[in-house]
Structure formats: structure tokens, C-alpha cells
Amino acid sequence: MNKRLRHYIDLIIVLTDKEMKLRYKSSILGYLWSIGHPLALALVFFVAFKVVMKIQMDNYALFLICGLFPWQWFQNSVTVSPTLFLNNASIIKKVNFPRNIIPFVSVLQDMIHFILSILVIAGFMLAYHKAPTLAWIYGIPLLLLVQFLTAYGASMFIASINLFFRDLERLTTIFMTLLFYFTPVIYPVSMVPERFKFYVNLNPLGPLMISWRGLFLDGKLELEPVLFAVLYAILLYTLGSFVYRTLSGRFGEIL
Amino acid sequence: MNENAIVFEKVSKSYPLYHHIIGGIKRFIFNIPGALKAIKSSRYDALRDISFEIKKGETVGVIGRNGAGKSTTLGLIAGVMKCTSGSITVNGRVAPLLELGAGFNHELTGRENIILNAVLLGLNISEVKERMTSIIAFSELGDFIDQPIRVYSSGMLARLGFSVAAHLNYEILLVDEVLGVGDQQFQKKCYDKILESKQAGMTIVFVSHSMPEIEKVCGRVIWIENHTVKQIGETKQVIDAYIKAQENHG
Ligand SMILES: Nc1ncnc2c1ncn2[C@@H]1O[C@H](COP(=O)(O)OP(=O)(O)O)[C@@H](O)[C@H]1O
Ligand SMILES: [Mg+2]
């Protein structure tokens, strides 16, 4: 194998291994801890919308779980991105390695964690007498790839820009909160008033989250949201790597 | 055949003073014309018109006051920054000797950190595994190697870092004021290793404020002052001139 490629892969392996070790240091507790957050959110929304507001939906708890887990992956990947390069200043200033490995690995380990949490989703489905379908076999890898590209693009973009404008951290948090409520995660698209439906597809995360939930809840992928999701993934990835490539030559002097 | 490991030709490096925008995106957006003008007009010349050649296998010292531009020079050699004008040629793989604990994770053990650090510095995983026993032996950390490094003293961290550095694949080693830590015996070991690499034909660029250290390892010295080369030559000569200049300054 090409020597540079070999080293690139080894870098990814070593850095991912490090992240996983840190995350699952007390292995089982680490896992419970990080599935705890989306589960707690699901509980909060269930109480607020089902118990209190009496939303007219069957299986609302399962519905929440199927949307909140993929959302949580994206949210985690984006929220840590402002500090990614900053936290590695000491080596970025001294060693000439491909720095986009850092956001790559960050998103990769969030993805691995999400894959592990699919078990939880499957568990809830069994409790609701639903079973995984054959579509999962191609649907999950496809959506994993699409979401990976989306999150990796966003992460490269934010991590790079934040070196130049150091106040992106709070801005990112605010933006993610807004995006969360504008994305059909805790409500179905069918409840969005007709005249706003158009905007759902303008949200880069909307079609992707709809696709995940369709895959888990109904066991199938709809063509339209998947196409939109792929389109946004390509757009965000292109934008992120363009910004990264334009700015990365200056990382060494700005840190 | 190429005899030179590093060639600087009329190299200048100016830093844009980014703190105008580092202030934040809010300030930038509300004052775009002002901010752009500030970025363009305020650059800081860290190096001006520097030229030198370092031959393969040479050990060259770089001296100068704080802020003279020594670390900038090493950054340019390592390729983590680009020069503003001039040209830089580097033949061979470059490895920096990192400062204490850089690139280490404090929750991981010494052994885990060796793999992490060595791969970051250019080795493949299989190469690190082959060299692991030797790296651990060199560090003399014994059973501590499987402890998280947050329990290490600064001397022990230095041992770990240097042991990794001593086992990398490189032809050019950059040392930027990092050998001041660790006990006497280990420092001696580091110097022996540097002298050994020298014998093995490595090129070494060595920044230090300790003139005895420089005299011990360097064949030639580059003295940087006021962001440009003040003098290049035999170690003894340059050091004497440097010390004299320091005394005259008071
Ligand atoms: N990233 C940077 N941005 C702006 N100015 C810098 C940066 N790095 C160094 N400088 C300035 O450039 C000059 C040379 O710095 P440096 O090469 O670190 O000096 P030395 O290592 O000789 O002490 C100093 O005046 C320093 O303030
Ligand atoms: Mg310095």
C-alpha cells in the first residue's frame, strides 16, 4: 500500500482508539452515560408533549427515540468542533500532519457511538412489537455515510473558522438549538402547516432526520428526502473542505 | 546528488496580526471595512531576508534573544508555516522534538501515549510496535509505563517524549529549547543520543540559550538578531561575539 495512505489510516486508527478509550474508560458506565442524554431528552419531550399537551400520535416515545439518537450524533459532532484545532495547538504548531484528521476522527467516533446506540433503538422497537427490516441492511450504511459527510463538512468548516473568530463556540450552541426546533425531530413533518412544508427541505438536516426515522419506524427509505440528504451532504462536505483547504496553511501561525 | 539538507534563500516571514479579528466575529461583522484594512496593514516582520545553507549531517545551533525569530525559523523548516517571500528547500523527513507533554493525553498510560505520539510524528503502527521495547527501555520508566501519565513528574514526561523522538524515522531533527528538563543523568543520555544521531549522519538544528550546550553539540551557529541573520560561522567565534554583544548591552 502507498506509504502515505498507510500512515493516514494509522493516524485515524490511533486517534480513534484514543477517543474511544477516553470515552469508554469505565466501559459500561461510559456507554450508559452517553445514551443517557438522548434518553433523558426523549423523556422530557414525552412528558411535555404527550402527557401534558396530549399530542395526537401513536408510539410517540418510539418516534422520539428514532429521531433523537441520530440528532444527538450530529449535535455532538458540531458542538465540539469549535475547539478541535484549538485543543491540539501544541502539535499543530510543530508537526506537519494532515490536520483534517482531527475533525474526521471526532465525527467518526461519534458515529461509532451512534452505531452502538442503534441497539437501544432496536430494543425500543421490540418493546413496541416492531422488528428491523431488510431495508436496514442498505439503509443504515447509506445514511451513516450521508450523515458522516454532512457532519464532517460542518465540523471542518466550524473548526477552521473558529481559529480566526474565536467566539464561534457560543454562536454554534445557539445555532444548534434553533436548528433543533426547526428540524422535524420531535414532531412529524405531517404536522407542519402546508405553507411551511417547503422550508423543511431548505434545512440541511431536515431530510436526513426524516430519512432516519422513516427507516427505523416504517422500515423503508423514501426517495425524495434521501436525495435531498445526499445533496446537502455533498454541499456541506465541499464547503467544509474548501474552507479547510483555504485556511489550513495559516493554522500554524494563528494558534 | 544533493549535499544540502536545508536551504533558505532570502526568506522573509511576516505574521498578520490576527488579533484584530480574533476579537470575535461580532466585531468583525459590524466593522468589516475597518477590520479588513487592519488585517492588510498590520503585519509583523518576524524574519527579514534570511539566507543560509545547512549541509546533510551538520549540527547547527541557532541563538538569539527572545523574540528574535528562532522558533519561526524552525516552524518554516518543519513546514507548519509558509514564508512570505523567498524560498525554502528541505531535503529529508523532519521531526521536531516536542515540548514537554505536547501531543500527550494525560489520562492514557505511557505506553498508549508512545503509540499516539509516535504515529503523530510519522511512524506507522507496525513500526511503533517493533520499536516499543526499545522505546520503553530507553525511557527507563519501568513499571510506570503502564500508569496514566498524569502521575508522571515533568522529568518523567521529558523522558517519555525524548524516548519517542529518539526512535522516529527522520533525517532532520529540530530541537527548540526543550532539553532543560529531567535529571542530570537523563539529560546526559539525551545529549549522548543527539551526538549518536549526529554520528549516524542526522542533520540537527538546535535552538538553545545555553552556550555550553551549543558548544558541546554544534559545529556551526547561526545568530539571529533583529529578525535577520547577524552572523553565521564556527561555533566558538559566533558564541564569543554573541556573548560580547550581550555584555555590551548591559
Ligand atoms: N503566531 C504569531 N503571530 C504573530 N506574531 C508572532 C507569532 N509567532 C511569533 N510571533 C512574533 O514573531 C517574533 C519572533 O518570534 P519567535 O520566532 O517565537 O522568537 P524566538 O523563538 O526567537 O523567541 C516575536 O516578536 C513574536 O512576538
Ligand atoms: Mg522560541
Write the pLDDT tens digit of every residue in B22-53. Answer: 566 776 777 777 766 766 667 889 999 999 99
pLDDT, one tens digit per residue, over B167-178 is 998 899 999 887
- CB–CB of B80 and A94 under 8 A? yes
Rounded mean pLDDT of chain A? 93
Q: Which residues of A touch B78 (CB under 8 A)?
A: 94-96
- Euclidean distance between CA atoms A110 and A9, whole angstroms: 18
- CB–CB of A165 and B75 under 8 A? no
Q: Which residues of B touch A168 (CB under 8 A)?
A: 25
B68 Cα–ligand 2 center, Å: 8
A155 Cα to chain B: minimum distance (Å) = 18
- Euclidean distance between CA atoms A138 and A85, whole angstroms: 34
For ligand 1, say whether the CB of B46 is within 6 Å of any of its atoms: yes
If one counts the domains in chain B, the total is 1
Ligand 1 atom 14 nearest Cα: B69
Ligand 1 atom 25 nearest Cα: B67
- Euclidean distance between CA atoms A140 and A146, whole angstroms: 10
Write the CATH number for B205. Answer: 3.40.50.300
Q: DSSP of B14-53, one letter per residue?
A: EEE-THHHHT-HHHHHHTHHHHHHHHHH-EEEEEEEEEEE
Pairing of strands B59-63, B203-207: parallel
pLDDT, one tens digit per residue, over A213-226 is 999 999 999 999 99
Q: Give residue B110's pLDDT.
A: 95
For the record, the C-alpha cell of A217 comes out as: 419506524
A18 to chain B, any CB pair closer than 8 A? The answer is yes
Cβ A101 vs Cβ A139: under 8 Å:
no
Taking the CA of residue B207 as reference, the ligand 1 atom at the shortest distance is 21
Look up the domain containing B105 and give its range. 4-249
For the record, the C-alpha cell of A241 comes out as: 473542505
For ligand 1, say whether the CB of B72 is within 6 Å of any of its atoms: yes
- Look up the pTM and report it: 0.91
Which chain B residue has the Cα nearest residue A171?
B25
Give SS3 for B229: strand
The β-bridge partners of B204 are B59, B173
Q: How confident is the model at residue B197 (pLDDT cuts 50, 70, 90)?
A: confident
